[in-house]
């Protein structure tokens, strides 16, 4: 069955990835493109529907992002959200201006046309998330108003004949009570999508495509033990078996026992038919990091040394036809290759081929997936749940959870403290409720009293945040008795620690990681 496609045209809004994820939750494949994407390219993609995102501009200003009138004349259903709704009206002859009162936050929306396909099975009074300084004062010809609020006369409008729909609020965010239902109605009822894009079919199709591409070639994968590289490795293993070689570089900056856990799953005694090479390079990394305290310099040293180790192992293997990378869809979007929003971060595995391994082609089997979809694929492939739901872990590992110089002793302290923290969070039944949690080692020593002796030891900081997209985050509200137990165990069981702190900082102004 040919894969159905809905495309999101990005006008610089902060929720573009969230819109795409919500569409995929309807089992419909969705991709993000810049608003600058040409009409001819859109025609070639033959999407079942088009969604215009929000954005920070005013659509009536001359230099604001826009789209041609032809976009609305393709016969393809179009849904405009916030700025996208205003732009639709502006381009088609309506009036958008700045009212005396803007709307922000949770707002009661009153449905004027319950028979609208968008509002099927939605209560006539519902809470939605508003965030706009401009408003639609007059709808374009052919549109009728389908919803309003106390301060916004056009909260939604539609032109049924031309399959055009405008929504002033954000249905993609969780604060909009029936938002998922509205997007589902657009995708399934208006666009007529069947909703057949599911993870079991993705896995099956990917294995078939990889097998055809690789043929009898040799494949190399850098396996970190993280979710993305693990799922990518298993997909390749299912497709090409022993033609795959996985190189696992243990840089000594992993969580406690993590290296052995990865080897148990992927090594000779594991369940997968692949060639597994573990490189124990702990001391090599510690030597390179000796005396280095500046965070960015530590990151670069760890990244560059990882490449050197991987390069050495690759040369031992000989000719390699394909290189596997665990690129996922947010990597593509945040690198500026999949939308219009500002580049958030650079990724070594996006947009260019490494020059240190001789190979024909790169394989990125997860390039189309969001993180939650990668986890679903992992479960579908039979990867152990503890690996699939492993806490997010930075590429430089504990190097960015140890403030200041990295030493073997400090690594041991933070590994032990982190293991206790994760164990007690699990015991308290909180592991699935918190977005990310870990222990970090501060660069502070303080006076304490243990037994009848004064001590001068390290302070460990506990971090736990709740987040949807990892771009913003708030400190998690962990019960005091849980924190108290974690503190007591760390001080009693981890040599060299006499103080435990809990980090309440949100993002922004802080970051989730410490460095």
**Which active-site residues does the annotation give?**
82, 170, 172
Could you please report the per-residue DSSP string of 109-162? EEES-TTSGGGTT--SEEEEEEEES-EEEEPPTT-EEEEE-SS-S-SEEEETTT
Nearest to 302 by CA among 226, 225, 400: 400
Q: Are strands 78-81 and 49-52 parallel, antiparallel or unpaired?
A: parallel
Nearest-angstrom CA–CA distance, 216 and 243: 7
Strand, helix or coil for residue 452? coil
Phi-psi region of 228 (alpha: psi -120 to 50; beta: other; left: phi over 0): alpha
Strand, helix or coil for residue 97? strand
Nearest-angstrom CA–CA distance, 155 and 147: 5
Nearest-angstrom CA–CA distance, 238 and 193: 30
Q: Which residues are CB-contacts of 246 (< 8 A; sequence separation ≥ 6)?
A: 221, 222, 223, 233, 266, 274, 275, 276, 277
Give the DSSP H or E segment for 439: strand 436-450
Nearest-angstrom CA–CA distance, 478 and 464: 8
Residue indicated by tokens 């949100």 = 506
Nearest-angstrom CA–CA distance, 305 and 299: 10
Strand, helix or coil for residue 166? strand
Evaluate the CA torsion angle 229, 14, 435, 511 in order and state its sign: positive
CA torsion 486-492-498-500 (nearest 10°) is 0
Nearest-angstrom CA–CA distance, 14 and 360: 37
Task: Report the number of secondary-structure helices (H) and strands (E) in the chain.
Answer: 14, 20
């Amino acid at each position: 069955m040919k894969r159905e496609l809905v495309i999101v045209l990005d006008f610089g809004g902060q929720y573009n990835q969230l819109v795409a994820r919500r569409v995929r939750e309807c089992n419909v494949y969705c991709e993000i493109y810049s608003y600058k994407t040409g009409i001819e390219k859109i025609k070639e993609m033959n999407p079942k529907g088009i969604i215009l995102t929000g954005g920070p501009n005013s659509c009536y200003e001359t230099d604001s992002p826009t789209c041609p009138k032809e976009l609305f004349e393709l016969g393809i259903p179009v849904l405009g959200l916030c700025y996208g709704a205003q732009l639709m009206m502006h381009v088609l002859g309506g009036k958008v201006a700045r009212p005396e009162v803007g709307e922000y936050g949770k707002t009661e929306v009153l449905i004027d046309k319950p028979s609208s396909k968008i509002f099927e099975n939605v209560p006539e009074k519902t809470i939605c998330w508003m965030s706009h300084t401009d408003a639609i004062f007059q709808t374009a010809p052919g549109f009728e108003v389908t919803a309003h609020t106390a301060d916004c006369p056009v909260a939604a409008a539609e032109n049924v004949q031309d399959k055009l729909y405008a929504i002033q609020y954000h249905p993609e965010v969780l604060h909009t009570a029936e938002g998922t239902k509205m997007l589902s109605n657009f995708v399934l009822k208006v666009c007529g999508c069947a909703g057949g894009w599911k993870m079991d079919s993705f896995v099956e199709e990917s294995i078939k495509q990889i097998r055809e591409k690789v043929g009898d070639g040799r494949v190399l994968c850098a396996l970190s033990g993280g979710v993305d590289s693990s799922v990518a490795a298993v997909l390749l293993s299912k497709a090409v078996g022993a033609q795959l070689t996985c190189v696992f570089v243990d840089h000594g900056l992993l969580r406690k026992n993590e290296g052995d856990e990865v080897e148990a799953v992927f090594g000779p005694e594991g369940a997968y038919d692949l060639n597994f090479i573990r490189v124990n390079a702990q001391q090599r990394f510690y030597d390179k990091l000796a005396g280095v305290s500046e965070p960015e310099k530590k990151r670069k040293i760890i990244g560059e040394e990882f490449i050197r180790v991987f390069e050495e192992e690759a040369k031992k293997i000989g000719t390699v036809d394909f290189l596997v990378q665990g690129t996922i869809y947010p990597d593509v979007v945040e690198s500026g290759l999949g939308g219009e929003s500002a580049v958030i971060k650079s990724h070594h595995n996006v947009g260019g081929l490494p020059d240190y391994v001789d190979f024909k082609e790169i394989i990125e089997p997860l390039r189309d997936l969001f993180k939650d979809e990668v986890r679903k694929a992992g479960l579908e492939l039979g990867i152990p749940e503890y690996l699939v739901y492993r806490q997010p872990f930075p590429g430089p590992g504990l190097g960015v959870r140890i403030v200041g110089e990295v030493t073997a002793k400090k690594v041991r302290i933070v590994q032990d403290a982190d293991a206790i923290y994760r164990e007690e969070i699990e015991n308290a039944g909180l592991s699935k409720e918190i977005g990310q949690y870990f222990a970090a080692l501060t660069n502070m020593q303080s006076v304490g009293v243990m037994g009848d002796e004064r001590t001068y030891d390290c302070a460990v900081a506990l971090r736990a945040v709740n987040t949807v997209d990892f771009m913003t985050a708030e400190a998690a509200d962990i019960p005091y008795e849980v924190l108290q137990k974690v503190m007591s165990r760390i001080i009693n069981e981890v040599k060299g620690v006499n103080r435990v702190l809990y980090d309440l900082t949100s993002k922004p102004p802080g970051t989730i990681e410490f460095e």
